[in-house]
Structure 1
Amino acid sequence: MLDIGYSLSRRFPDPPQTDYRTADVHTLRHDLFCGDVYLADTKEDRELSTAWGWVPVLDFAWALCDIVEQLDQDPHGSRASRSQYAELDFTESTDRMLFERRFGWVDIEADWMPAEEPPLTFAHRLLRREARDFLHDLIADLTDMHEGLADNPTIWTLQSRFPRVPA
């Protein structure tokens, strides 16, 4: 089972004067909602997480949804034997999260993982569903905390671009 989660940082709070209703894409993706994120394999009791406190969590959720779609470009889908690759760069560092899909499985590893540790592996279909659920749950949390965010057109577009996937 895959669990994707986050925690917001107290060290890097959002600027108090922020108008969330009119915040542009760059501000939403890179300047707000900093914290840490994790992907966990609850069956294997293993986790891939950040511990920096400055990761823009909305950007992470958005990028993860983009990556899942990027990994689904092969017309053979889950029958594709050729590996497909994607990476998620963390803006303020050289660290990356690496994704490799072969057949219907996605291996996820990160630059900061010990070399001898195997990647986390999930079915692509599960990763897509959980990434989108994470995005929608995160947006729900953030709109509860920040007045006006639910009225931001970028948030509307993001939600419609990556709708929830039925189980």
Structure 2
Amino acid sequence: MLDIGYSLSPRFPDPPQTDYRSADVHALRHDLFCGDVYLADTETDHELATSWGWLPVLDFAWALCDVVADLDADPRGSRAPGPLRAELDFTESTDRMRFERRFGWVDVTADWVTRKDGRNTPLTCAYTELRRESRDFLHDLVADLTDMHEDLAGNPAVWSLQARFPRV
């Protein structure tokens, strides 16, 4: 089973004067809610996690949903032999997560995660599970952030984001 999670960084707090209701897309995606994220296969105990503390977690959730949608570009869906590839790159870093879909399965690798032998073992999950979990992660994250910053619930960019990627 796939688990996607996050933690906010105490080292990079949001500016205290932030107006979350009117924060623009750039601020939401690049300047606010910094921390770390992880994708984990709970059955194999394989995890791809950041430990930088500066990653904008809302941007990650947003970009992950975009990437997953890109992986569904073939109209044959799970019957498509692929491979369909997509990348998620991180602002302020050269590191990337790579996604490769074949039939109904997705291999996820991260540039910064390598074993001692230099290989990068992919985290493998079903596409439908990745789609569901990425959207659940986005909605759960927005709910958590809204609990911390009530004005965020009134932000039109957040409304559009949630409407674009509804829970599955």
Q: 2:148: which partner in 1?
A: 145
1:1-167 mapped onto 2 (5 Å cutoff): 1-114=1-114, 115-165=118-168
Where do 4+ consecutive residues of structure 1 move more than 2 Å? none
For this pair of structures, how many residues does the alignment match?
165
Please give the alpha-carbon distance, in whole angstroms, between the structure 2 residues aligned to 1:51 and 1:96. 14
Please give the alpha-carbon distance, in whole angstroms, between the structure 2 residues aligned to 1:101 and 1:150. 34
Please give the alpha-carbon distance, in whole angstroms, between the structure 2 residues aligned to 1:82 and 1:133. 26
SS in 2 for 1:148: helix
1:34-62 CA-to-partner distances (Å, cap 9, x unmatched) read: 00000000000110000000000000000
Unaligned runs of 5+ in 2: none
The letter of the residue matching 1:90 is F
Please give the TM-score of this superposition, normalised by the length of structure 2: 0.97
1:79-109 CA-to-partner distances (Å, cap 9, x unmatched) read: 1112010000000110000000010000000
1:6-35 CA-to-partner distances (Å, cap 9, x unmatched) read: 000000000000000000000000000000
* Residue 118 of structure 1: how far off its partner (Å): 1.6
Preserved CA contact (<8 Å) 2:110 2:120: no
Please give the alpha-carbon distance, in whole angstroms, between the structure 2 residues aligned to 1:110 and 1:58. 19
Please give the alpha-carbon distance, in whole angstroms, between the structure 2 residues aligned to 1:23 and 1:101. 35
